[in-house]
Amino acid sequence: MTLLAIDWILLIEKLVLIAIIVFASLGIALYTTFAERKVAAILQDRPGPNRAGPFGLFQPFADGLKLIMKEEIIPNTANRSLFILGPGLAMTAALMTCAVIPWSSHVELFGRNIELQIADINIGILYVFGVVSLGVYGIMIGGWASNNKFSLMAALRAASQAISYELAMGLALIAVLMVSGSLSLKTIVDQQMEPGRLWNVAYQPLGFLIFFICAMAECNRTPFDLPEAENELNFGYHQEYSSMKLGFYLFSEYVNMIMSSAIMACLYFGGFDIPFLNETTLAPNLAAILGVLALLTKIVIFIFIFMWIRWTIPRFRYDQLMNLGWKKLIPLALLNMLVTGAVILYLQG
């Protein structure tokens, strides 16, 4: 079935996969907002949202409905087209990362071998970096188009924070790439699944720590949430936004959190690998389902750690943030890279 030299079944297969992954990510993000409030409540010894539905489970839908129903305000001095583009860009960039994450091994359905990954490109991890660096635009454009000094200040802070921490993140990543010798996330995960090989975190503990801190900064999570420091900047880059545009900005933070958790799980914690189990002995479909569950478990654990840190540690001052990024993390990441390279050379003889 080829028309216009396109394999239409493959196209449909990929479109279905994209739809499932995007909607699943949005669904998880929806409940991450709920989990955030519950975790905050537990850490502060109070019940948290418990009115809408059993255990307050319908709370995210109530929140969403509230945001949609609110009045949509576009300031009359704002740059209208860019004001609307900003939240859309932030959300798109957050969701684009899911294209290269290997969610599990393959399933066999209707005689077709379907890989549970949208695109296994040989530069997978660089693609993630490209998308992350584009995520800055959503914030910068939104902050600038609001035509508000506080928004602009917050947007500039966000951009400089993102650029500073991208550097250390990239350097930490290079050490992983030296260990695995591949840029494809699928290959990196497959290598960690080989019997007799530990997860990458065992070879790169310092690298993982640096990557984790940088991921937290890239997601604008406390203690790195300077772009929305309300006691200095009122509300941050999304001050002028209302209704669902504000919702998109807040929501993209949660999607970003899920994606960076997935990337960390793939790079350092074996992706969809189940510890102490040889997946090749199972039926492929069962192995695939168990793999998805394993990856989701790892993502949930990472998200919980993100929240735990947010509700425990206060925010950095801006100069402390820059000091940590440029004077501590980058030299540490360089050292990590040097040691990794030396050890690899030594082992090769």
Partner 1 sequence: MSTTEILFFFLTALAIFSAIMVLVSKNPVHSVLWLIAVFFAISGHYILLNAQFLAIVNLIVYAGAIMVLFLFVIMLMNLNAETEPQKHIWMKLAGAISGGCFLMMLVSLVRQASELNGKTALMAEGNIGLIKNLGKALFSDYVVPFEITSVLFLSAMVGAVVIGKK
Which residues bind to partner 1, rule: CB under 8 A? Answer: 4-6, 79, 82, 121-123, 126-127, 129-130, 133-134, 136-137, 140-141, 144, 152, 155-156, 159, 163, 183
CB count, 10 Å around CB of 97?
A: 23
Which amino acid belongs to residue 183?
Answer: L
Dist. CA 223–CA 210, nearest whole Å: 15
User: Quick one: 60 or 138, whose CB is closer to partner 1?
Assistant: 138
The first and second tokens of residue 281, run together, are: 């002995």
SS3 177: helix
Q: What is the SS3 assignment for 50?
A: coil
Q: Least Å distance between CB 58 and partner 1?
A: 39
C-alpha distances in Å from residue 255, one per residue of 34, 62, 205, 258, 286: 13, 19, 26, 5, 27
Q: Tell me the C-alpha distance between 337 and 207, whole Å.
A: 8
Q: Give the Cα separation of 92 and 81 in Å (integer).
A: 16
Rounded least distance, CB 166 to partner 1, Å: 8
Nearest distance in Å: CB 198, partner 1: 26
In the complex with partner 1, which residue's Cβ is closer, 154 or 287?
154
Among residues 156 and 300, whose Cβ is nearest to partner 1?
Answer: 156
Which residues share a beta bridge with 114? 107
Work out how close the CB of 158 gets to partner 1 at its nearest, in angstroms, rounded to a whole number: 11
Q: What is the closest distance, in whole angstroms, from the C-beta atom of residue 343 to partner 1 in the complex?
A: 20
In whole angstroms, the minimum distance from the beta carbon of 17 to partner 1 comes to 19
Of 107, 104, 90, which Cα lies nearest the Cα of 262? Answer: 104
Q: How many CA atoms lie within 13 A of 231 on its CB side?
A: 5
Of 121 and 250, nearer to partner 1 (C-beta) is: 121
Count the helices and strands in the chain (H runs, E runs): 13, 4
